[in-house]
Amino acid sequence: MEYKKGSVLSGIKVLDLGQVIAAPYCTEILSNMGADVIKVEMPGKGDSCRASMPMKDGISTYYLAFNCGKRDITLNLKSEKGKEILTKLIKEADVIVENFRPGVFARLGFTYERLQEIKPDIIYAAISGFGQDGPYSKRAGYDPIAQAMSGIMSVTGVPGGQPVRCGASFADVMAAQNTAMGILAALRHRDLTGEGQMIDVALADCCITALASINQIYLTDGTVPQRLGNTYAASAPGNNYATKDGQIILLAGNEKQWQKLCAILGHEEWTTMPEFIDNKSRVAHKAELDALIREATGKFTTEELLSQTLEAGLAVGPILNVQEAVDGPHFAPYREMYPEVQHPQLGKIRVTNQPIRMSKTTPYVRSCAPTLGQHTDEILAELGYSGNEIHEMRETGVV
């Protein structure tokens, strides 16, 4: 087995039949850990996000973001020859990942039972909006729908305002990460027992798990959580505050932090005011408290306030836009969160990295995302098809 630094999954073969983010990002994580990921796409069309913005020179960099390090084959899975080739790929695979609507893969002839017949120890991961069973299971389940129906949107936004979706594809990314974690656990189980298994991950379930601290309010006393903006139900102060030239987010919920903040802002008298005397009182009077703090922070530049609050050990940070995060002194040079990859047409482009760092097997981006069908001939040759057979498949629209 070839083993390089960060290639803990060397020797593991993964079939990616996914679209858009959840399944493709899951398999990209596995690729970054060293798995051989083969992405299967429809001839001439491919993953629907190949047409998604942003674009550069007619190429979707949205697609590139979630498909690095993979090989790519085009297969018409509605043709019998395409199904034959997929069956051969499954026989050699360890893991299959898809995010079709429940029932679609089965209608193509690939039920979990059929997959087990082809490869008894296969690990099959199906990602969907609401899971493989239950009254919502057949619904189209996109990220915003999962955020809406899990409760996330109901607690996101300002008090009295409209529910707000998280600006990023939060549900998709969490589903991808949770599926990857399930696959790693299933591989370990297979090592111990020789058994494969099916993994069922729902975008909405992932949102519900992320909402655990908020759910607990209702689960404890029946109170329905509401939108709080950037404040917190359990502590104060904690919010975004304007400076002379920007915005910071600042938390000072315990008594020691509160006293330090009052000293920095030049208002030690706040610590003895009855309405701010302890955390419970500050939470009850948070609107009044935030108004006073904003008046005080507005007298500082962002750098002045950050310097003093950071020196005091407070939890504080500037509210950065994406450009400021990418071009800043921490995430790119030290955390390597925006690596460069080489694209055959675009040249060097930057993508977003995995957040995992390990002392011996840190995942890394092996290569740029493949062009549509880039490795079709290579993969078919590995399966034993001749050049003439591959040519015929192209002529008949199988690949």
Cis bond upstream, residue 237 (ω within 30): yes
Among residues 172, 200, 205, 290, the one annotated as catalytic is 172
Report the distance separating Cα 186 and Cα 97, nearest Å. Answer: 13
- Tokens standing for 1? 């087995």
Edge-to-edge strands, sheet with 238-242? 238-242, 247-251, 315-318
Q: Cα–Cα distance between 124 and 136 in angstroms, integer?
A: 21
| DSSP H or E segment with residue 23 | helix 22-32
Catalytic site residue 172? yes
Query: From the CA atom positions of the chain, what is the Rg in Å?
Result: 25
Give the chain's end-to-end CA distance (angstroms, integer). Answer: 30
Q: Cα angle at 153 between 148 and 158, to 5 degrees? A: 155
Distances (CA, A) of 44 to 73, 178, 373, 398: 11, 31, 9, 11
Rounded Cα distance, 177 and 367, in Å: 20
In whole angstroms, what is the distance from residue 185 CA to residue 198 CA?
12
CA separation for the pair 98, 95 (Å, rounded):
10
Three-state secondary structure call for residue 235: coil
Q: What phi, psi does 42 have (nearest 5°)? A: -75, 135
Q: Which two tokens stand for residue 238?
A: 């904690």
- Residues forming the active site: 172
